[in-house]
Amino acid sequence: MLDKSVFTPHGKHLIAGEWVAGEARFANEPAHGGAHEFSVGTPEHVNAAVEAAEQAFWSYGYSSRAERAAFLNAIADEIEARAAAITEIGCAETGLPEARLQGERGRTTGQLRLFASHILKGDYLDRRHDEALPDRQPLPRPDLKLMQRPIGPVAVFGASNFPLAFSTAGGDTAAALAAGCPVVVKGHSAHPGTGEIVAEAILAAIRSCGMPAGVFSLIQGGTRATGTTLVQHPLIKAVGFTGSLGGGRALFDLCAARPEPIPFFGELGSVNPMFLLPGALQARGGEIAKGWSGSLTMGAGQFCTNPGIAVLIDGPDADAFVAAAKGAVAGIGSQVMLTDGIAEAYRKGRDRVAGSKGVQEVLTSVCNLRNATPYLYETTGKNWLDNHELGEEVFGPLGLIVRVSDAEEMQRIARSLQGQLTCTLHLDKGDTALARQLMPVLERKAGRVLANGFPTGVEVADAMVHGGPYPASTNFGATSVGTLSIRRFLRPVCYQNMPDGILPDDLV
């Protein structure tokens, strides 16, 4: 019997139910422990996987909601059966602590089970019926029925900062499978071993549920040509992506330039500004500073919802907040970042902010190699408005405090923002009038607006929105977290005067 608590990667791709090797190899770069070799994905691997996904769609796309729900639950069961081994290799590859990997695994299986429960209810189908009006004048109305239908094979790119929840069996994959769409995942080279063991779990679920083999494939690593082939393949009908603005925009442009353009659902990150209103700042500025420190440095700041900007009105209360934030952040030690490349990008972002005109140091430290230490800087509202680079994301535990002269300048800061995943208001009852002035601006800027909290917890739920106006994401009408994310991989079909015998079962 297979011991699912022990795992040694074999380094192959999973294509249509078979483990396939390639000639070229690459080695992972774990934070600790020995490295393993993996096959490099090629356009040929992509073609085989996508063609298998298209073949699988003709049965999986027309399976029942009960069958797909059972499949999602089986994937969750198989992931949990490999819990210890997933945690071990995930920690080794990423440097994330064991508790973080255990929590992320629970999030991953939890959203699979949530999506299973959601599709069983059927509400996501948005079924509508306009009955025929044969006697209507001047023209009769036909019988019209509408329902959401799956779009076909979906490409998913694994994320560097979430080896489980936003990668192989993460939110994009779970949403597409729930919708009835086969998935081809391009695994992230930062954690290929973690991707492989999760793919093994999905394969076990495919076999136990009798699903078509091509319903899921994993292509490891690969060159830029591999990703290009995947998003440009004519059988791929949508792409899910979580990553950098530069990489996401390049893939978005490829999707738009296809002979048949397809939607690219890219979640690209943001600076997630917090606005500290005067009453809250005076009453509990120290408490907010402490909470900000924890949120800013959580996971070495490697969250797309990391609150990198704090905006507050200058004065004694602002001085006290800065001092409290400095004291809280100073107690945070060095943390291992996900990859050497991310650590280097963090240092470059630090240098860009520190070297910007009008920016002053609050707290500096020394970080090198794959380690990250926190930094705090401050600037004026005027300088922020004059320097658009200060609004660019630094992926890591770096905070910038923006001191504005008054409430009017705070509103100008809000209007100057690019699209964000989140914006946060810290307010007390006396701040309601200013908050009401800011709200119309913030809800145009962000997909999620918070009050008196911190954005680094993204609940997987029906009402969650994890997306926002560009450049936070490439599709402001979508979310990559929560049950609404399933709608990304569906399209409405209207059936006119259709006999019940040939309608989809869910419409009869």
Report the greatest alpha carbon distance in the chain: 80
Catalytic-residue membership of 304: yes
- Residue 222: C-alpha distances to residues 43, 149, 172, 322, 338 (Å): 9, 32, 20, 45, 19
Distance between start and end Cα atoms, the chain: 45
User: CB neighbours (10 Å) of residue 5?
Assistant: 13
The letter for the amino acid at 57 is F
Catalytic-residue membership of 255: no
Tell me the C-alpha distance between 57 and 50, whole Å.
10
Tell me the C-alpha distance between 381 and 319, whole Å.
15
30 three-class SS: coil
The letter for the amino acid at 207 is R
Q: Which of 346, 360, 352 is nearest to 314 (CA)?
A: 360
Tell me the C-alpha distance between 377 and 157, whole Å.
34
For 99, the token pair is 């508790």
Annotated catalytic residue, options 93, 267, 393, 409: 267
Burial 167-187 (b: 16+ CB within 10 A, else e): bbbbbbbbbbbbbbbbbbbbb
Q: What DSSP designation does 446 have?
A: E
Q: Where are the alpha helices (DSSP H) in 331-462?
A: 340-354, 381-386, 407-416, 432-445
Q: Which of 66, 330, 41 is nearest to 199 (CA)?
A: 41
Helix axes 83-94, 192-209, angle to 10 degrees: 150
Tell me the C-alpha distance between 311 and 274, whole Å.
6
Peptide bond into 397 cis (omega under 30): no
Strands 446-451 and 375-380: unpaired
Annotated catalytic residue, options 91, 304, 367, 423: 304
Catalytic residues, which ones?
A: 267, 304
